[in-house]
Amino acid sequence: MQRAAALVRRGCYPRTLGPWGRGQSSAAAEASAVLKVRPERSRRDRILTLESMNPQVKAVEYAVRGPIVLKAGEIELELQRGIKKPFTEVIRANIGDAQAMGQQPITFLRQVMALCTYPNLLDSPSFPEDAKKRARRILQACGGNSLGSYSASQGVNCIREDVAAYITRRDGGVPADPDNIYLTTGASDGISTILKILVSGGGKSRTGVMIPIPQYPLYSAVISELDAIQVNYYLDEDNCWALNVNELRRAVREAKEHCDPKVLCIINPGNPTGQVQSRKCIEDVIHFAWEEKLFLLADEVYQDNVYSPDCRFHSFKKVLYEMGPEYSSNVELASFHSTSKGYMGECGYRGGYMEVINLHPEIKGQLVKLLSVRLCPPVSGQAAMDIVVNPPVPGEESFEQFSREKESVLGNLARKAKLTEDLFNQVPGIHCNPLQGAMYAFPRIFIPAKAMEAAQAHKMAPDMFYCMKLLEETGICVVPGSGFGQREGTYHFRMTILPPVEKLKTVLQKVKDFHIKFLEKYA
């Protein structure tokens, strides 16, 4: 009978002739009888439901790819189906994806990556010798001379050596040890890993993680996932998003009532706020971390993106070292860099590194163990990171072209930063602080009371309502400030400055026109 039922399910019926010469299936008849007798089974409950899933994962939010971006995707599909809109394309200004916005890759980086990926090209006269030299060095350090092999969990040794040499050059001779370098899947992977090893305790002894507000939502997402305690400290919007140590003291003092503040996260240059911290500010932060026994995380992925002539990037590692051995031998610091930002814009390679100093030797072993669980970061991403830290130097044949392309990208970004600031500040009801660095504007927007009532009726935060209307009426996708955090009663949105200049001008004009109409509608 089981065989008969299986035959029915497969549609295979042994045929016999009936009494009138018509075909009939004896197996089908038998199976039908069996299935009528067998009680129909109800579908069992799913093991994994919203109620049974990990509550920490359910608590995770990531605004940069949140509801507004999902809506943008729906609108794009509607445009493809020919549904008429007041615009012809969706402009995704929500994320810092340079090449998706039209930025051209750096030639030298792609040449070395091509050689590493397809080594037969090493015999081609079309590639410069300095690119071939770097490709050979990377491949010789890979198992089987191939990017397709696993690397050590901490990363390819020669690439970690190049990262250490880069840090030493960047910091004016401050030494860096390759053994303190960990190659990562973008900077995000390193940040998540370090936080994972830092979080412990329960109740009032649960680890508190101090993050800036506004912040990059990776931090709040990882904190939620790890069930740690988020400790907010607010940047000073009225003072160009400066970090004030007195605000850090307030945050720590209040946090100690319900958790154990153990980690201080700094984003410099800032995302989404674009501020560049002064050396004095960094010294104050390091002294505060030393005083309060906090582990410092320095997110420095925008270190090449400094536009204001009055600002300069200072690494936490360099300032820490120059403050003397009392600090440099005691303050635990993890700093992060990536291939995704800067002038490179190589987001898809997912290359990055972290340098961790003053780590307890036993914890170092635990960190390597944790990293070994994911085997290794993508070796192609490691190779891309190597080219970032080991670019052409004067005297090599690719140096002039590389320098020209790098300066072109950063020069364009600087012009677009100033353009964005100036045009936003011409719009009534919008105020934008100077974009000193990074690649975003984070303007403050005035939202009338009637618009807030409409947002409440739609069960949205006021700035989410604003951004959704902006998307639906102009096709421009930006991220509401509530996704990054902001002081109560203030509203913002984050917009990348990455589109080409002419398209950026169009975007800014559309935002201006929309904002004026929005104020009139809800006046």
The pLDDT value recorded for residue 173 is 96
The pLDDT value recorded for residue 57 is 80
> Which runs of consecutive H residues, i.e. helices, occur in 261-315?
279-292
**Cα(460)–Cα(71) distance, rounded to whole angstroms?**
14
Look-up: residue for tokens 């994972």? 196
The pLDDT value recorded for residue 29 is 57
Give residue-wise pLDDT tens across range 434-446.
Answer: 999 999 999 999 9
**Cα(141)–Cα(160) distance, rounded to whole angstroms?**
11
**Cα(272)–Cα(493) distance, rounded to whole angstroms?**
9
Q: What is the pTM (predicted TM-score) of this model?
A: 0.86
501: tokens are 């200049």
The pLDDT value recorded for residue 16 is 44
210 three-class SS: strand
Eight-state DSSP code of residue 45? P
Contacts (Cβ under 8 Å, ≥6 apart) of 155: 181, 182, 183, 353, 376, 377, 382
The pLDDT value recorded for residue 310 is 92
Residue numbers in the chain where pLDDT is lower than 70 = 1-42, 60-65
**Cα(396)–Cα(115) distance, rounded to whole angstroms?**
18
Eight-state DSSP code of residue 195? H
> Which runs of consecutive H residues, i.e. helices, occur in 186-323?
186-198, 218-225, 245-255, 279-292, 316-322
Closest CA relative to residue 17, chosen from 30, 26, 8? 26
Which DSSP helix (H) or strand (E) runs through 207? strand 207-213
The pLDDT value recorded for residue 48 is 79
Q: Which domains, from first to last, does the chain contain?
A: 53-89+401-520 (3.90.1150.10), 105-388 (3.40.640.10)
